[in-house]
């Protein structure tokens, strides 16, 4: 039996109380490291700015715009690069029909000045948004971010003051500079307990595609490895961890969330150079593809049929097989779910919530998955908080990021806490919500030093 709207309200009510406790607990910040990092980044920004202004391109920029020159203007940079230097833009913005100034397009030009400029922008954002953002909110050495349950249409949470859910990690250099400032209390460790592939598993509870269920339930199967084989024309033994990563994040997930081949192909192709991808036997991936007859990307333009022999044409064929053969039931569910929304004007989440309003197809398909997946985390956090309060342990929940819980834990309580968290997050929740028809998994990372140095927990 699925939860009702009344039960959905109860989840938000209890969740608000639990998150209020999380906010009050607070996260310990290494103030000295934070101050030192701000100074270090500021010095680097100054040096990088000086290098830019010593470059000939900056002189052309100044001649072009005179007193209106603004080093923070991407639009001005684009006009200099494409207009003054004669580079061709890969795409133009839809509204103004001018050269694109987005980071991806600019990086593809491989101009040292532009790369330094983009690096400068990233460092400025790190300093202003993250480092100084944390510094402004610290009280007596602790950060107390707000966690909201009433602001996001998908019924996920949000965070502010500062946005704890947006602390960088994908860029390891930037992630290190800010996350090293988050530390455990004296004598404690930080534990991050993360649901594994939660949205994929919750999506399967909606569409019930037999192929997807088989991937989830059989540990010997790996959909991301299989996608890597298809996208890069490899046998399983030639797929590396990095190749699997890019197939997962540049093809499988984008396809699930509504992207298509003309957007996936350039990302998969560019990843080869960006990440210097090679097969398990050391063959450069582009060299391997060339041996398979694929030597160029293709135009990748909307409405333009890809040409034979291009990577774009190959990815289009992979996409067709992906939806027509591998996940055909999932594909049909997308169409059926969309048509039901068009008829009713709303759609219901498995957790009892209802979304009413005007939405695009991708929103109608993705929102119920994202919302219900977060509610699994929220329900688990509520139960874990109740247990911690009842048990009078020293461990405390200090943050959450959609599918993970961050805990500040005394060393003597580590095993007991992890055991209880796993029980709640993989067992108790399925008893509470029988609509979860797939097994759930959690991963645990631990650190005695800082949030950045966390490592996989070994029992």
5-28+145-199+374-456 has which CATH code?
A: 3.30.70.370
Could you check whether the bond before residue 162 is cis, i.e. omega within 30 degrees of 0? yes
405 strand-pairing partners: 193, 400
Domain ranges, ordered by start, for the chain:
5-28+145-199+374-456, 31-118, 210-326
Angstrom CA distances, 141 to 182, 264, 398, 450, stand at 10, 44, 14, 15
pLDDT higher than 80, residue 327 = yes
Instruction: For residues 216 and 175, give the distance between their C-alpha atoms in angstroms, rounded to a whole number.
Output: 31
- DSSP letters for 106-144: HHTT--HHHHHHHHHHHHHHIIIIIIHHHHHH-BTTEE-
DSSP 325: I
Structure tokens at 196: 């594994």
Write the burial class of residue 89 (CB in 10 Å: 0-12 exposed, 13-18 middle, 19+ buried): middle
Write the pLDDT tens digit of every residue in 231-262: 999 999 999 999 999 999 999 999 999 999 99
Distance (Å, whole) CA 111 – CA 104: 13
Measured over the CA atoms of residue 250, residue 251, residue 252 and residue 254, the dihedral's sign is positive
Mean of all residue pLDDT scores within the chain: 94
Domain 31-118: CATH architecture, name and number where available: Up-down Bundle (1.20)
Does residue 453 surpass a pLDDT of 90? yes
Q: Percentage of the chain with pLDDT > 70?
A: 97
- Specify the pLDDT at position 99: 57
Per DSSP, helices labelled H in 392-456 are 414-423, 429-432
Q: What is the pLDDT of residues 286-311, one digit of tens each?
A: 999 999 999 999 999 888 999 999 99
Give the whole-angstrom CA distance, residue 453 versus residue 176. Answer: 8
pLDDT at position 110 is 82
pLDDT > 90: what percent of the chain?
Answer: 87
């Amino acid at each position: 039996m699925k939860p009702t709207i009344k039960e959905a309200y109860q989840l938000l009510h209890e969740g608000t109380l639990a998150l209020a406790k999380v906010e009050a607990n607070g996260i310990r910040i290494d103030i000295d490291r934070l101050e030192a990092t701000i100074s270090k980044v500021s010095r680097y920004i100054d040096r990088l700015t000086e290098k830019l202004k010593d470059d000939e391109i900056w002189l052309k920029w100044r001649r072009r715009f005179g007193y209106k020159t603004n080093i923070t203007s991407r639009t001005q940079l684009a006009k200099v690069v494409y207009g003054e230097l004669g580079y061709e833009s890969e795409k133009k913005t839809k509204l103004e029909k001018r050269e694109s100034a987005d980071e991806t397009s600019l990086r593809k030009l491989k101009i040292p000045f532009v790369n330094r400029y983009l690096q400068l922008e990233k460092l400025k954002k790190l300093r202003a948004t993250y480092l100084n953002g944390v510094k402004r909110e610290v009280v007596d050495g602790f950060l107390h971010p707000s966690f909201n349950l009433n602001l996001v249409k998908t019924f996920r949470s949000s965070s502010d003051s500062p946005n704890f859910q947006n602390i960088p990690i994908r860029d390891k250099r930037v992630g290190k500079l800010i996350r090293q400032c988050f530390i455990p209390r004296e004598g404690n460790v930080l534990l991050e307990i993360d649901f594994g592939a939660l949205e994929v598993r919750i999506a399967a509870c909606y569409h019930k595609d037999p192929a997807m269920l088989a991937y989830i339930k059989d540990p010997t199967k790996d959909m991301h490895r299989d996608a890597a084989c298809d996208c890069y024309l490899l046998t399983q033994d030639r797929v590396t961890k990095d190749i699997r990563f890019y197939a997962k994040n540049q093809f499988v997930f984008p396809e699930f969330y509504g992207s298509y081949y003309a957007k996936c192909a350039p990302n998969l192709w560019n990843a080869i150079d960006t990440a210097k991808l090679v097969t398990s036997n050391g063959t450069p991936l582009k060299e391997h593809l060339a041996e398979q007859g694929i030597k160029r990307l293709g135009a990748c333009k909307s409405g333009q049929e890809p040409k034979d022999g291009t990577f774009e044409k190959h990815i289009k064929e992979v996409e067709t097989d992906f939806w027509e053969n591998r996940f055909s039931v999932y594909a049909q569910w997308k169409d059926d779910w969309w048509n039901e929304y068009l008829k009713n004007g709303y759609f219901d989440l498995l957790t009892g919530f209802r979304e009413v309003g005007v939405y695009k197809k991708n929103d109608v398909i993705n929102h119920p998955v994202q919302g219900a997946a977060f509610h699994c985390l929220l329900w688990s956090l509520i139960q874990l908080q109740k247990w911690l309060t009842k048990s009078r342990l020293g461990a405390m929940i200090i943050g959450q990021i959609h599918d993970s819980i961050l805990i500040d834990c005394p060393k003597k309580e580590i095993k007991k806490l992890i055991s209880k968290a796993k029980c709640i997050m993989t067992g108790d929740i399925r008893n509470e919500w029988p609509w979860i028809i797939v097994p759930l998994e959690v991963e645990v990372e631990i650190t005695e030093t800082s949030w950045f140095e966390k490592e996989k927990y070994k029992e």
